[in-house]
């Protein structure tokens, strides 16, 4: 066990603290019962700082902290493209997607699909997302979180899974999105503090008397190959990060799908007071994404110098935690737990939103608000129980659980992006073309994986996206739907932005461009 008694006490105190705070911030005024808007959209009252912090807290979990540090250990800074390209993607989401969603009062992605296409598309995608969130995302967060807890505390994996699931239920079940989002500023603060402590102490170990900056310079000199952002074809990891594709190819599709059309991420922005508050939150999140590689990648690169002979790359972050003094180690571990709990809470709320509002309510239109909230809580709890039971059987035999997530979602991501982009910006797109894009995405991905296995995953995503788009457009022309019930209004959508968003966006873009220029 890496933790002393003082560290364990800090972790337990933090878990109790965050559960109590979550219940406090989500309490209702006397005589007011939570309705669906309160539970699933935090009453549309989220301020920008809660939106930005919650976007990052939902995104960063064990697979990022442990997995990306492991990738930093073997690949290097190139893996940071997932973070830095996401910062630019967030700006596009805030500029072009959110105005349409908020003007049309969208509360879930399946609801948008029904209003834009028809009930078939809504039902198919709602069922897909439920399966994805429960059996892929929720289980992987639990499993990778349990691996981290096991590596640091020595707790059995099953025990760790149960403890994480139980804490997530206690933390988020009653308050819904409000409990998650308003406590995420605490979670993110601790996450940033803990990550910076790990990186700082690791660099001081490398730099000695030269300090943190001296340690960083020393690190770049001792492992210069770890600071290539764009990998060449002769790099052994080119298949994972295929050169310019991270700037021009499939990574855009992955990021647009994740940040623009992923319910458990975009739900925070949908709960904003207004479009301007949502956009300020988006910019805040974009700045945090620029910082994330310092927290989740740099420790892994440092580990390549300090502990070059570890058995598995995913041990890099726990190994760096060993450098921390007593007390600080407990805070850093609490930050890791915070990231896991926030992601679990976010996922539970999105599962309950989709099932309750897009499936249950669609079948029973007259259900009252109080009952819908109760159904939402039951669904969230049930989803967690299923994930706890299935996490080890599903993921226990995978050497890289993160790769399992990427492979599964990558079969569907190109089609999802085609469906939404055409739905947002092309009135002629039909429901049949949307279904064809969704089905075609899976079929084409399987064919490419089977008959062109050497094609890098990211390039496959880009090619399948183009093919699905062509199929959807042709089908919309060949079989137009003259009786389409498109109730999404693009008229009078205000895409203009305030100076704060423009200045923030330009700063984010300039920083990302500078980082790629320096580490090209």
pLDDT in tens, 277-330: 999 999 999 999 999 999 989 999 999 999 888 877 778 888 888 888 888 888
Same domain, 315 and 431: no
Same domain, 302 and 424: no
Mean pLDDT of 385-414: 76
Same domain, 387 and 438: no
At a CB cut-off of 8 Å and minimum separation 6, what does 457 contact?
Answer: 239, 240, 250, 406, 407, 410
Same domain, 427 and 332: no
**For residue 31, pLDDT beyond 90:** no
pLDDT recorded at residue 317: 85
pLDDT recorded at residue 331: 84
Contact yes or no for 167/341 (Cβ under 8 A): yes
Highest mean pLDDT among 136-150, 249-263, 386-400: 249-263
Residue 401 lies in a domain: no
445 pLDDT tier (thresholds 50, 70, 90)? very high
With a pLDDT cut of 70, the percent of the chain lying above it is 93
The kind and range of the H/E element at 371 are helix 369-395
Same domain, 334 and 473: no
519 pLDDT tier (thresholds 50, 70, 90)? confident
**For residue 93, pLDDT beyond 90:** yes
Domain count, the chain: 2
**For residue 454, pLDDT beyond 80:** yes
33 pLDDT tier (thresholds 50, 70, 90)? low
Same domain, 479 and 361: no
Q: Which residue's structure tokens are 């896991």? A: 340
Same domain, 378 and 440: no
pLDDT recorded at residue 257: 92
pLDDT recorded at residue 273: 84
Distance CA 246, CA 253 (A): 10
What are φ and ψ of residue 409, in 5° steps?
A: -70, -30
pLDDT recorded at residue 262: 87
Q: How many H helices and E strands in the chain?
A: 27, 0
Identify any residues that bridge with 46 across adjacent strands, giving them in sequence order: 272
Residue 146 lies in a domain: yes
**For residue 403, pLDDT beyond 80:** no
At 382, which CATH number? 1.20.1730.10
The kind and range of the H/E element at 89 are helix 81-92
Distance CA 193, CA 183 (A): 16
Alpha-carbon torsion angle 86, 177, 381, 140, nearest 10: 10
Residue 353 lies in a domain: yes
Looking at 370, 395, 420, the residue that finishes a domain is: 395
Residue 492 lies in a domain: no
Mean pLDDT of 382-407: 75
Mean pLDDT of 6-15: 86
**For residue 87, pLDDT beyond 80:** yes
At a CB cut-off of 8 Å and minimum separation 6, what does 455 contact?
Answer: 448, 463
pLDDT in tens, 324-350: 888 888 888 888 888 888 888 888 888
pLDDT recorded at residue 253: 92
Same domain, 364 and 215: yes
pLDDT recorded at residue 397: 62
Residue 516 lies in a domain: no
402 pLDDT tier (thresholds 50, 70, 90)? low
pLDDT recorded at residue 506: 95
Query: 3-class SS at 480?
Result: coil
Residue 251 lies in a domain: yes
Owning domain of residue 477: 411-485
Higher model confidence: residue 173 or residue 296? 296
pLDDT recorded at residue 435: 93
Residue 430 lies in a domain: yes
Same domain, 260 and 353: yes
Contact yes or no for 418/468 (Cβ under 8 A): yes
447 pLDDT tier (thresholds 50, 70, 90)? very high
Looking at 361, 395, 429, the residue that finishes a domain is: 395
**For residue 200, pLDDT beyond 60:** yes
Identify any residues that bridge with 272 across adjacent strands, giving them in sequence order: 46
Residue 60 lies in a domain: yes
What are φ and ψ of residue 112, in 5° steps?
A: -60, -45
Same domain, 382 and 431: no
Same domain, 275 and 220: yes
Q: Is the dihedral of CA 112, 113, 117, 120 positive or negative?
A: negative
Contact yes or no for 167/177 (Cβ under 8 A): no
Same domain, 208 and 115: yes
pLDDT in tens, 246-255: 888 888 998 9
Mean pLDDT of 86-101: 93
């Amino acid at each position: 066990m890496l933790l002393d008694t003082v560290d364990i006490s800090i972790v337990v105190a933090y878990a109790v603290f965050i559960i109590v705070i979550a219940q406090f911030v989500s309490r209702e005024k006397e005589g007011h019962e939570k309705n669906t808007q309160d539970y699933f959209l935090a009453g549309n009252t989220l301020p920008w700082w809660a939106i930005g912090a919650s976007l990052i807290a939902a995104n960063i979990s064990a697979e990022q902290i442990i997995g990306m540090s492991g990738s930093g250990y073997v690949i290097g800074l190139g893996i940071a493209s997932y973070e830095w390209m996401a910062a630019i993607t967030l700006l596009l989401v805030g500029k072009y997607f959110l105005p349409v969603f908020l003007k049309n009062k969208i509360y879930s992605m399946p609801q948008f699909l029904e209003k834009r296409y028809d009930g078939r598309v809504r039902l198919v995608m709602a069922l897909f997302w439920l399966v994805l969130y429960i059996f892929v995302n929720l289980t992987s967060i639990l499993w990778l979180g349990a691996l981290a807890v096991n590596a640091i505390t020595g707790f059995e994996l099953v025990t760790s899974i149960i403890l994480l699931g139980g804490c997530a239920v206690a933390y988020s079940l009653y308050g819904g999105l409000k409990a998650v989002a308003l406590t995420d500023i605490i979670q993110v603060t601790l996450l940033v503090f803990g990550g910076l402590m790990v990186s700082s102490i690791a660099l001081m170990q490398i730099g000695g008397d030269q300090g943190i900056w001296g340690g960083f310079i020393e690190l770049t000199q001792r492992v210069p190959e770890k600071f290539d952002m764009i990998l060449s074809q002769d790099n052994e990891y080119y298949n994972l990060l295929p050169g310019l594709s991270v700037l021009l190819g499939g990574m855009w599709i992955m990021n647009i799908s994740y940040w623009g059309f992923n319910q458990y991420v975009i739900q925070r922005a949908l709960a904003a007071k207004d479009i301007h508050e949502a956009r300020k939150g988006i910019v805040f999140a974009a700045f945090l994404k620029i910082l994330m590689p310092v927290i989740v990648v740099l420790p892994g690169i440092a580990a390549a110098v300090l502990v070059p002979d570890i058995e598995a790359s995913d041990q890099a972050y726990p190994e760096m935690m060993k450098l921390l003094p007593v007390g600080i180690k407990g805070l850093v571990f609490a930050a890791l737990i915070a990231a896991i709990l926030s992601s679990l809470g976010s996922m539970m709320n999105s599962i309950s939103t989709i099932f309750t509002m897009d499936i249950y309510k669609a079948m029973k239109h007259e259900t009252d608000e109080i009952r819908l909230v109760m159904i939402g809580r039951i669904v969230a709890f049930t989803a967690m129980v299923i994930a706890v039971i299935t996490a080890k059987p599903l993921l226990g035999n995978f050497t890289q659980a993160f790769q399992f997530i990427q492979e599964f979602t990558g079969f569907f991501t190109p089609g999802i992006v085609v469906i939404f982009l055409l739905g947002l910006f092309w009135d002629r797109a039909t429901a049949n073309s949307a279904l064809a894009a969704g089905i075609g995405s899976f079929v084409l991905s399987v064919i490419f994986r089977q008959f062109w296995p050497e094609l890098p995953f990211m390039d496959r995503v880009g090619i399948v996206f183009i093919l699905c788009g062509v199929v959807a457009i042709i089908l919309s022309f060949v079989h137009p739907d003259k009786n389409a019930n498109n109730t999404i209004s693009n008229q009078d959508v205000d895409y203009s932005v305030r100076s704060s968003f423009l200045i923030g966006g330009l700063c984010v873009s300039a920083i990302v461009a500078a980082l790629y220029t320096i580490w090209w």
